[in-house]
Amino acid sequence: MNDPLFETIREILLQYIEVDEACVTEEARLQEDLFLNSLDYIYILMDLEEKLDIQFSDEDVGSMRTVKDIEAGMKRAMDAAG
C-alpha cells in the first residue's frame, strides 16, 4: 500500500493530466515524464492546499520537480501548520 499523501497527489494529478496511472510514481518528473504545464502545476498545488488545509512555501513551489518533491513539500507544510 502506498503512502496516503502520495495517493492524494496521484488522485489530483490524474484530474489534470492524461497519462497512464502507472506513470505517476514518486520519481516521475512533473514536466518531462507527466507533461505537466505550469498552469496545471499551480492548479494542482492549489487543490492540494485546499484539500489538506496547508500552504506551500514559495521556496517549495519554485523547486518542485518530481512527485516526491511535492510530497516532501506537503509534509513540510503540514509540519509548519502544526
* Long-range interactions of 49-52: CB distance < 8 A, separation 24+: 49/77, 51/8, 51/12, 52/8, 52/77, 52/78
Secondary structure letter of residue 66 according to DSSP: B
Buried-exposed string 25-59: b where 16+ CB fall within 10 A, e elsewhere: ebebebeeebebeeebbeebbebbeeeeebebeee
**Cell triple for 7:** 495517493
User: Where in the chain are the domains?
Assistant: 4-81
- In this predicted model, what pLDDT tens digit does every residue of 12-61 receive, in sequence order? 999 999 999 999 999 999 999 999 999 999 999 999 999 999 999 999 99
In this structure, CATH architecture of domain 4-81: Orthogonal Bundle (1.10)
Q: What is the pTM of this model?
A: 0.92
